[in-house]
Chains A and B, each alone.
Chain A
């Protein structure tokens, strides 16, 4: 049910109607400016992707080097039965005193 207030509201909306209409054509320079912004954002996106890939590859490389070093140290240490400090003590024990 429409009240007096509803009718007044509708009248006000009808009066303001033309100000709500959109533009059929973009304003002068809008398309050029939008394309330029689109281009800039695409370039930035590509740059971020490139930086991201480089960072990922660098991290993988560092990880591989660290793994290799750890593995080689580990293999090297397996040569003795004891830890380096213990090895020293064992060697001391075996010194013959004259």
Chain B
């Protein structure tokens, strides 16, 4: 992705006060940031505002960017840290019960897990709602870690580079959070 834009040139032009360089950078970085925000933040938050906040942070810290790694990596880390800060500020909800599920959630629960139905657009939104509800009882770090591993399929090394956590710390977290997740799903099934 970074090959499509002369990032160094853009940075130089931006420092010289060229606003079109800032526009190019915004357009270049928006998909990266928007993806991270959408994955790591529950939908109830105002996504667009947060993307803009991350872009503001990016521009105010551009002088710290050394250029030794692609700018998208540098920005990904900044975006993830901001999302984690936002998640930490939200109260962790108590563990979800089957009675908390909406009729749509309940349908998805049966469709995806029991009958294995083909996903359509409506199911996807309800499934996302259910995923958010299940993950909302985990800590911000555990929530993001589970999504990076299970949804994005990222390696432990990649996660370590993005988060700054050591690989052993990541393994330890996964070891601790997996049974928690399984237990939650088991409970939901039993309560049906």
**Interface residues in chain A, defined as those with a beta carbon under 8 Å from any beta carbon in chain B:** 3, 5-6, 8-27, 30-31, 33-35, 37-39, 41
Contact = CB atoms under 8 A, between A and B. Distances in A.
B92 interface: no
Contacts of B125: 16, 19
B151 A20 contact: yes
Given A11-B116, A13-B131, A34 B31 contact: no
Interface string B137-174: 00000000001001100000000000000000000000
Contact of B26 (A11, A17, A34): A34
Given A12-B108, A26-B34, 14 more contacts: A5-B185, A15-B111, A15-B123, A16-B131, A18-B119, A19-B127, A20-B147, A22-B38, A23-B30, A26-B27, A27-B48, A34-B52, A35-B26, A38-B56
A16 B182 contact: no
Nearest to A45: B60
Interface residues of B, number: 46
Q: Shortest 9 CB-CB distances between A and B: which pairs?
A: A22-B35, A16-B127, A15-B127, A19-B128, A16-B128, A22-B34, A5-B182, A8-B113, A5-B185
Contacts of B48: 27, 30
A30 B30 contact: yes
B60 to A, nearest CB: 7
B56 A41 contact: yes
Interface in B87-110: 108
Q: Chain B contact residues: over half helix, strand or loop, or mixed?
A: helix
Contacts of A25: 27, 30-31
21 contacts: A5-B181, A5-B186, A9-B185, A11-B112, A12-B112, A12-B113, A12-B127, A12-B130, A13-B150, A13-B151, A15-B108, A15-B111, A19-B125, A22-B32, A22-B33, A22-B36, A30-B30, A30-B48, A31-B23, A31-B26, A35-B23
